[in-house]
Structures are given as structure tokens and as C-alpha cells.
């Protein structure tokens, strides 16, 4: 994804107008007009998965097709125009990435089972004298 970030809505409207006339000028406009840190690289921000961008940018970016350019998106940083260069298929979690979560789940299940067994054992060995429990206690 690429972005052009400008401080005012008028500048953002000018960027959109220029992109509509010349869609291939995105990188040049990003280098010359954007105040974002990635301006020197033509606005190239990198690749993102859901949950990695501010909500306003995420909504706009994930609504675009590959090669699509967004409308103006306002955030506390200014006014953004985004371009999605390409879409990669969502990748599943690898075994190495999931290994910690799997270990935690198995440990929790084992702990829960041990607790249930301990409580069951206590209940099986507990002898309650209901008659004594119901009568008021007398000091000796």
C-alpha cells in the first residue's frame, strides 16, 4: 500500500484531482507533496493485515481492489489518499506461530482436569453428618 499524506483538505482534493487526471503519477506526487515518513519511497508503506492500521485507514484500504485509489481519508495526522498496489491472499498461522498458543491451551486443559479430579476425590472422601450439621452446637 502507498499513501500521500497532506495537512489540509484542500491539498488532499488537489491530490485526488491530479490522480484522476494521471493515475500513474501517485509515486511522483507522494515524493513531492506527502508529509508522511515514507514520502521518499513514493509513499510505499508496506504490506498490512487487518488490525495493523488505524481504523479509518483500515476501512479505506481493505475496501479497495488491487490498483485502487481511495477517496480522501481524514485522521488526526492529516488527510490521506491511499493506493493498494496488490493484494496477497490471507495467510494462515504456521505451526511455529501457533505453538505457544497450543501449549497454553493444553496446559490449561491439563490443569482444569487435575482440579476436577481433586475436587471429585475430596467430595468422594468427605463424610458429612447431616444430623450434627442441622442441630445447634453446644459448648462442652
* pLDDT, tens only, 19-48: 999 989 999 999 999 999 999 999 999 888
Q: What is the reported pTM?
A: 0.62
Is 80 exceeded by the pLDDT of residue 80?
yes
pLDDT at 130 > cutoff 70: no
Q: Quote the CA–CA distance of 60 and 100 in Å, as a whole number.
A: 33
Query: Taking the domains of the chain in order of start, what are their residue ranges?
Result: 2-83, 95-124
Percent of the chain with pLDDT over 90: 53
Question: What is the per-residue DSSP string for 20-56?
Answer: HH-GGGHHHHHHHH--STTGGGTTB-----TTSS-HH
> In this predicted structure, what is the pLDDT of residue 123?
81
Q: CA distances (Å), 3 to each of 36, 50, 65, 77, 102, in order?
A: 8, 17, 15, 12, 38
Alpha helices (runs of H) in the chain, residue ranges in sequence order: 9-21, 26-33, 55-63, 95-125, 130-134
Q: Does domain 2-83 have CATH number 3.10.50.40?
A: yes
Q: Which residues contact 77 (CB under 8 A, 6 or more apart)?
A: 5
List, in sequence order, every residue forming a beta bridge with 81; answer none if it has no partner.
4
Amino acid at each position: 500500500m502507498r499513501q500521500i499524506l497532506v495537512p489540509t483538505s484542500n491539498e488532499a482534493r488537489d491530490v485526488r484531482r491530479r490522480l484522476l487526471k494521471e493515475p500513474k503519477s501517485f509515486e511522483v506526487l507522494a515524493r513531492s507533496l506527502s508529509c508522511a515518513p515514507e514520502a521518499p519511497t513514493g509513499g510505499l508503506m508496506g504490506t498490512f493485515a487487518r488490525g495493523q492500521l488505524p481504523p479509518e485507514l483500515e476501512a479505506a484500504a481493505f475496501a479497495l481492489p488491487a490498483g485502487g485509489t481511495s477517496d480522501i481519508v481524514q485522521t488526526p495526522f492529516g488527510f490521506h489518499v491511499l493506493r493498494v498496489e496488490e493484494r496477497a491472499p490471507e495467510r494462515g498461522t504456521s505451526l511455529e506461530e501457533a505453538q505457544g498458543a497450543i501449549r497454553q491451551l493444553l496446559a490449561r486443559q491439563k490443569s482444569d482436569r487435575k482440579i476436577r479430579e481433586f475436587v471429585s476425590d475430596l467430595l468422594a472422601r468427605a463424610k458429612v453428618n447431616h444430623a450434627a450439621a442441622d442441630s445447634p452446637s453446644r459448648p462442652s
